[in-house]
Structure formats: C-alpha cells, structure tokens
Structure 1
C-alpha cells in the first residue's frame, strides 16, 4: 500500500470569541506603517453618527460615558463631520505613517471645522494638507 504525504503551509489568526482559527497559505503581510490617528478619528465620528441616527445611543453624553471620555472630547471628534465631504474622504485615505509624527492632527483641523463655508475649509485644508512626495 502506498503512503501519501500532503504538505501545506498554515497560519493561525484570532477567530471569534478569541479562538484561534487555522488558515491555509502564507500569513498575509501587513502594509508598512500605521494608519494616521486623524483617519481613525474620522472613521470613529462617522460610526458614532450612525449609532446616534439609528438609535443605538441617545446622544453625545451617552457616547462619552460608554467611551470613558469627556463630552468635550466627543464633541471634538464629532466636529470632524462638519468638514466638507471631499476633505473627509481625503482624511480617511491619508497615506500610512511609516515613521515620525502624523502629518495632520485633529488639533490642526479644529480651526477648519469651525468654518461653515466649505470653500473656505478647502482653502484652509490646502494650506495644511501634506503635499505629494513629502
């Protein structure tokens, strides 16, 4: 009787409820660098807005209690939704930070979110935004 031997590469990843899950193939490589913090905050503001709109949470105060942060911090994060949609999209797609500090911070955006006119916001953003290749 012939013996058959099968060899395959596997890796483990975190599954549901912290269980390990075995996957076939090579472990995927994570892209270099990290996602800028302001991009994470923008995504968080969008998610929080959806929570409020769908009734999952009642208001900013409840978000603050659940997140163990101040209501003022929730307001700062939610103010990112006052940015022009194209600026929001640009923030969500900022390039990964490979070393050093983020090129744009939430604090840098505070004067921009106070502007109601999107054209003025765009002017301020263009003066602040990182240039290609830098």
Structure 2
C-alpha cells in the first residue's frame, strides 16, 4: 500500500445542526457590523446613473417605478451624484457600523448636495 500526502489550505465550516464540515481554501471571516445606509445609497446612485447612461432605463421616473419609491425619493438619492468626487469616495469607504446609528445620513447631506461649489462642499463636509 502506498502513502499519499496532499497539502493545501482547509478550514471547517458550520454545517447543518451544528455539525462542522471540512472545506477547501482559507477561512474567511464575515466582516463585523453593517454598511452605513448612505454608503448603500451612494452605490445605488452610481449604479442607477450607469443604467440611465447605457440606455437600460429612460429616466428617474422609470427608476422610481421599478424601485417602488416616489420620484421625489429617487431624486434625493440621485442628488448624491452632485457631491464632490472626494466626498463620494469618502461616503463609499465609510467604516462599518458595529453598534449605534450611522455616522452620516442622507438627510444630513442634503444641505451639502445643494451647494454648487465643490470647494464649499468640502468645507461643509469637513
């Protein structure tokens, strides 16, 4: 009888009824906490803008119908695209929230979104 040795990364995953099962690869821990809501809204606004530019969707009204939200709410979400690029990036990379409320809300950003100057937006953001 010959001996066979296999090397590689394995880890145990939780299976049904608390059983453990062997899995290939590295064990990936789920990130703790949740993404702030404004981060998700910023990502949605970027994706929705892409859908409109590519012609998959005609306008904000159609997006609102598909998303089952009011046109006013869709406009509030899409207005996040009026933020300076560095603010948009900061929103997309906000740290996960492990407990308590979000550090920034979309409602708090409405005043910043209304300012045309990116320099002034940055001053308000800071």
TM-score band w.r.t. shorter chain: 0.7 to 0.9
Q: Note if 1:28 corresponds to 2:23.
A: no
Aligned residues: CA RMSD: 2.3
Aligned residues: 117
Matches within 5 A, 1:1-134: 9=11, 11=13, 24-25=24-25, 27-126=27-126
CA distance in structure 2 between the aligned counterparts of 1:25 and 1:80, rounded to whole angstroms: 39
Q: 1:10 to 1:25 in 2, by over 3 A?
A: farther
Q: Please, which runs of 5 or more residues in structure 1 have no aligned partner?
A: 13-21, 127-134
**TM-score normalised over the length of structure 1:** 0.77
CA distance in structure 2 between the aligned counterparts of 1:58 and 1:10, rounded to whole angstroms: 48
- For the 8 Å contact 1:11–1:25, the answer to whether it is kept is no
CA distance in structure 1 between the aligned counterparts of 2:28 and 2:95, rounded to whole angstroms: 20
- For the 8 Å contact 1:63–1:74, the answer to whether it is kept is yes
> How many Å apart are 1:2 and its aligned residue?
6.9
**TM-score normalised over the length of structure 2:** 0.82
1:29-82 Cα shifts (integer Å, max 9, x gaps): 111111111011000000000000000100001000100110101100000000
